[in-house]
Chain A
């Protein structure tokens, strides 16, 4: 029962949160480029995303003639599932957790792989060369970056001996793991940025070469579902970083929930900040970076962690 209530809350919070994040992104982008961002709808454009959402809801859902109908139809539905499931094991505070799943981290990682599948389905089903190239890139990128991501997470796991997110957060009550595992934290951050297809790793939808990548053919509500999933995945990635490296909900004065949200939204801000700072990298650079830099370093880091833990 509590699980159902939690899911209902998530279903209500996720779209609102995405609306807020899209506005935040546009504001950050604007001010970095010395312009004000959306200003027209309501003071300082705070209702802009709502207006956009209404517009998207009102748009016709075009299905091009030569698409693979079933796959094309299913892809945007499947893409939101992991975005919702990802919230289940996240401990917003010791009290605020829908379910402390024994293998919480693995649950999130395994569901996040479904996102890749739905992107591939969207690209394949669209029957469009740009969409297909975007989807194929997405698969290559996600396979490459999942390895350093898991290796960096493993360095934390072998320190705590548990997959439970709540327990990992509590294990950091004395010192945050970002100080004990700085390398793993950086690798984790880079890899999650790549996993969520955010700039500078957004080759999946590189608009200067691929029109809009895998969602080129999607319109109206289906398009917004992809959008919803992208931003929600960003929240989950930031929340995971908070749990693994920033001590979850621990912090002075305020209740845990507030601290958790502060840390998460700060990380999201950093991701946006990065997006508007760096140019998109080339695909071979992307692959080289994963296989030649991130994976060896992550492996080395894991090895050193294991040795140090054994010696102590």
Chain B
């Protein structure tokens, strides 16, 4: 009796399983067809860091204080400032990061006294060479304009 019952109960569960997959066969697909469809990244997404462009100066607010470079636990950031005239304010001129070493910890974003850093929403990066991961952040800001 137990034997027959086992076969019947098992057979019933097999049919239930088949019914579930049959229903799914006719459901619309849920995957995103990546190169043709793209998702918008969530606000919390962390790409590499980039400068915020402010409306008052039409550019970044970096003063090349070097705090971000010093705080970064992975020594990712190189920043070089410039003064055009004596007595003028210093401002950031060159800003490079080695993205391959960045741990996306966010310390640089938090520490910046001018609040001019943010995480980008960039996720489509392919590099052929290790040195390609060195990104010119200042150049990216210029390029975007």
Interface string of A40-76 (1 = CB under 8 A from B): 0000000000000000000000000000000000000
A273 touching B29, Cβ below 8 Å = no
A34 at the interface (CB under 8 A from B): yes
Q: Which residue of B lies closest to A200 (CB)?
A: B14
Sorting the interface of chain A by its residue count into under 10, 10 to 19, 20 to 34 or 35 or more gives: 10 to 19
B143 at the interface (CB under 8 A from A): no
A31 touching B33, Cβ below 8 Å = no
A274 at the interface (CB under 8 A from B): yes
A39 at the interface (CB under 8 A from B): yes
A276 touching B31, Cβ below 8 Å = no
B126 at the interface (CB under 8 A from A): no
A28 at the interface (CB under 8 A from B): yes
A276 touching B30, Cβ below 8 Å = no
Sorting the interface of chain B by its residue count into under 10, 10 to 19, 20 to 34 or 35 or more gives: 10 to 19
B7 touching A32, Cβ below 8 Å = no
Interface string of A8-38 (1 = CB under 8 A from B): 0000000000000000000010111111100
Residues of B within 8 A of A274 (CB): 18
A34 touching B17, Cβ below 8 Å = no
Q: Which residue of A lies closest to B24 (CB)?
A: A32
Quick one: which of A242-281 are within 8 Å of B by CB? 273-274, 276-278
In the bound complex, how far is the Cα of B22 from the Cα of A39, in angstroms? 21
A276 touching B33, Cβ below 8 Å = no
- Closest chain A CB from B11 CB (angstroms): 9
In the bound complex, how far is the Cα of B83 from the Cα of A79, in angstroms? 79
A35 touching B25, Cβ below 8 Å = no
Interface residues of B, Cβ cutoff 8 Å to A: 7, 14, 17-18, 20-22, 24-31, 33
